[in-house]
Structure 1
Amino acid sequence: MTVPRTGRPGGIRAAAPSRSGWRTQAPVVAVVALGGGTGAAARYAASLWWPTPAGGFPWTTFGVNAVGCAVIGVFMVVITEVRPAHRLVRPFFGTGVLGGFTTFSTYAVDSRSLFADGRLPTGLAYLAATPLAALTAVWLAAWAARRVLKWRQS
């Protein structure tokens, strides 16, 4: 008889999760879900306040993703370099709220819609500009947060 391979080194199986493991993870799952709902509601509110006109550039999704990335840049500096946070703050706000607020799925749907409408140059620009803006926003926000912290400490 052969032992099933698991893809892990040596074919060793991981132990089944224990009840105590679930008890420690349940609060994390709960705060991520709560934060995700909050962030998604905020994104929906942004789409109501700043609707994308038919055939228009999806500025709301673009802006939400850039702003969300900037906020996570500041947030990560604060909780890693300024003051350690409670163990549930990062999953609630970083993964939950900001994960629910920013949106890759709407970015993909908006891109597909631009291509389907025959707006190839706009679709390609949107495809390239969104990740560029998001990465730039997180980097600039983290850099600015560090500069402000350095200034306040001097």
Structure 2
Amino acid sequence: MIQLLFVAIGGFFGSIIRFFISNRLNKHFFGTWIANISGSILLAILLRYYLTGTIPDYLWLLLGVGFCGAYTTFSTFGNETIQLLLAKKYQTAMYYVLSSFTLSIILVGIVLVW
């Protein structure tokens, strides 16, 4: 039961910070892009430390599962991509999708190999 509490607390703060970023950028898709890229990097760093035993289980649950899980959001990413496509902003949608996936994967790879 305590594990659920750690995930919930992390998720609470992750969702609030993502909401703050989104509002600061006037709910523009760039806020989701920033959250997803930075959240991927943070998750990779946390995963590396968790797998090497540097951080304990509760910290992984709090920050990795809870915070990063709520801070990054695939549903918002999908919705914003559809909104760009419906607005006929095809090039922007393509750059958004490709840069989100590519940067996340490359940066996570760098962190895990580093």
Normalized against structure 1, the TM-score is what?
0.67
Indicate whether 1:107 and 2:84 are aligned.
Answer: no
Q: Say which structure, 1 or 2, has more relative contact order (CA 8 Å, 6+ apart).
A: 2
1:40 matched to which residue of 2? Answer: 15
Q: Corresponding residue for 1:78? A: 49
Q: Residue deviations 1:86-141, cap 9 Å, x none?
A: x2221111110011111111101110110110112221222222121211121122
Q: How far 1:63 moved relative to its partner? A: 1.2
Residue matched to 2:35: 64
Structure ranking higher in helix proportion = 2
User: 1:52 Cα deviation (Å)?
Assistant: 4.5
Aligned: 1:51 with 2:26: yes
User: Which residue pairs with 2:93 in the alignment?
Assistant: 123
- Which contiguous aligned blocks of 4+ residues in structure 1 show a shift greater than 3 angstroms? none
Tell me, in whole angstroms, the C-alpha distance in 2 between the residues paired with 1:130 and 1:65. Answer: 7
What do the CA deviations read for 1:43-80 (whole angstroms, capped 9, x no partner)? 01111223355xxxx22111110101111111122222
Partner of 1:134: 104
Q: Per the alignment, do residues 78 and 139 of structure 1 end up closer, same or farther by CA in structure 2, a change over 3 Å counting?
A: same
Q: Secondary structure at the match of 1:132?
A: helix
Q: Following the alignment from structure 1 to structure 2, what is the Cα–Cα distance between the partners of residues 43 and 137?
A: 20
User: Paired residues, what number?
Assistant: 114
